[in-house]
Structure 1
Amino acid sequence: MHVETYGPAGAPPVLLLHGGGVAGWMWEPVRERLSRDHRLIVPDLPGHDRSAGEPYHSHGRTVEALIRILGEQGGRVRVAGFSLGAQLAVLLAAEAPELVERVMVVSAQARPSAAPGLTLGLLGATAGLAGREWFARAQAKALFVPDELLGDYVRTSAAVSKQTLLAAVGENIRFTVPPGWARFPRAALVLAGGRERRVMLASARLLHEALPGSGLEIVEGAGHGIPLQRPAWFAERVRAWLA
């Protein structure tokens, strides 16, 4: 897994986990605002951009790889994840709480979709569209990718294999709250956009209710893409959360 680090070596470490179909570059607007005071650990998840040579297999295998990366850091790490990366953040907190100082979960689906087989069948039939620039540009707009990162999105989208697409989406739409989440002993914050799909808002409440003492924030007016849609606000929210 390709990993980039930014910021002073002795600063508090923060792991940033991107969503499906994008890559570590999605955190650029946030990184610019946080890397002076924090050591940011930014991987490209398997099957994505600079890690495209290793297909995405499962959340379980990806979390195992992340645990190895965090184990090399020494001490506990703050974790923030978006969408698919938010599901991984939940799993990290649930399965390796000794490595996680606190966790921010942004737009994680936690209720399985209806008829996942049908969804994946349709996705498989249209997987080739991901490599078409016009389709990637349309998807980028839906995800609030800014113009300066559009080239990164088009490149990443073209490199995502059908295997990665089906595996990552399959894991995403079947995800449920892991048992260990309720036992995470430190601070957790769950965010969702007020204009996201109902399943996403219900998922945010479900994650919040499953972990006593966690925080829940619904960001009014925001869709599925808070870190890219409102980078300045999000960076300041992360900064306050880290403090």
Structure 2
Amino acid sequence: MHVRSSGIGDERAVLLLHGGGVAGWMWKPTTELLPAGLRFIVPDLPGHDRSSAERYVSHDQTVSELAAVVEREAERPVTVVGFSLGAQLAILLAANRPDLVERVAVVSAQAEPTRAPGLTLSLLSATAPLAKQQWFAKLQARALFIPASLMDDYLRTSARISRETLMTTVGENIRFTEPPGWAQFPGAALVLAGAGERGFMKKSALSLHESLPGSELEIVDGCGHGIPLQRPEWFAQRLGNWLAQ
């Protein structure tokens, strides 16, 4: 797995986990706006961009690999920030390895399984080749709020992603449920969802919050499914304030 690290080793470490179909570059607006004194650990998840040669096997396998990354890159427990697919991985890492996670921010995580997942995956299989077409990728970029400064990164990532990665990651995503260990996570937790997201996404955020006593929940006005890229200044400030608590 390709991992980019920045900052000094003894600084407070933040593991940033991107969503499906993008890569670690999506966090550039966030890291540029967060205060100094943080160390960032930013992987490209299996099957994505610079890790496109690595097969995405499952969420569980990826979380095991991420735990190894944390053990290698950090000298103490880290803050984990995950978006969408990455938010599900953040939940699993916090639930399964609380010894490695000090606090966790969950941004737009689906935790309510999709009805008729087979139909969703059949449609995805039929349209998967379009992801490699630049005109289609640009349409998708608008839906994901990709800024012009990151468009080349998105087009490169979209062209590299395989049908197998798409099918596996989406299949894992739409079947995801809250793991048993989530309710026992001892660290701080922040759960965010956009006010303009679909109902099951906001329901997922509420469920994750209610399952974990002491967690914070915020439904973000003016956002759909894309908070870190749709409102980067707000997101960095909110995250920075939470980290300073």
Q: TM-score, normalised by structure 2?
A: 0.97
Tell me the SS of whatever aligns to 1:16: strand
Distance in 2 separating the partners of 1:179 and 1:165: 26
Tell me the SS of whatever aligns to 1:126: helix
Aligned to 2:18: 18
1:8: Cα distance to partner? 2.9
Question: 1:134-145 maps to which residues of 2 (within 5 A)?
Answer: 134-145=135-146
1:108 aligns with 2:109: yes
Aligned to 1:239: 240
1:29 aligns with 2:29: yes
Aligned to 2:7: 7
* Regions of 4+ moved over 4 Å: none
1:57: Cα distance to partner? 1.3
Distance in 1 separating the partners of 2:173 and 2:153: 22
Contact 1:93 1:181 in 2 (8 A): yes
1:29: Cα distance to partner? 0.5
Distance in 2 separating the partners of 1:35 and 1:57: 35
1:2: Cα distance to partner? 0.3
Question: 1:1-243 maps to which residues of 2 (within 5 A)?
Answer: 1-34=1-34, 36-72=36-72, 73-243=74-244
Q: Deviations over 1:146-193 (max 9, x none)?
A: 011011111101100000000000000000000000000111010000
Tell me the SS of whatever aligns to 1:101: strand
Q: Deviations over 1:106-126 (max 9, x none)?
A: 000000000001110110111
Aligned residues: 243
1:11: Cα distance to partner? 1.4
Q: Deviations over 1:54-93 (max 9, x none)?
A: 1211100000000011112221000000000000000001
Contact 2:196 2:224 in 1 (8 A): yes
User: 1:120 is aligned with what amino acid?
Assistant: L
Tell me the SS of whatever aligns to 1:98: coil
1:32: Cα distance to partner? 1.0
Tell me the SS of whatever aligns to 1:196: coil
Percent identity (aligned): 64
User: 2:185 is aligned with what amino acid?
Assistant: F
Tell me the SS of whatever aligns to 2:99: helix
1:6: Cα distance to partner? 1.5
User: 1:40 is aligned with what amino acid?
Assistant: F
Q: TM-score, normalised by structure 1?
A: 0.98
Which 5+ residue runs of structure 2 have no aligned equivalent?
none
1:35: Cα distance to partner? 6.6
1:10: Cα distance to partner? 2.3
Distance in 1 separating the partners of 2:56 and 2:165: 5
Which 5+ residue runs of structure 1 have no aligned equivalent?
none
1:7: Cα distance to partner? 2.2
Q: Deviations over 1:18-50 (max 9, x none)?
A: 000000000000111237320000000000000
Tell me the SS of whatever aligns to 1:182: helix
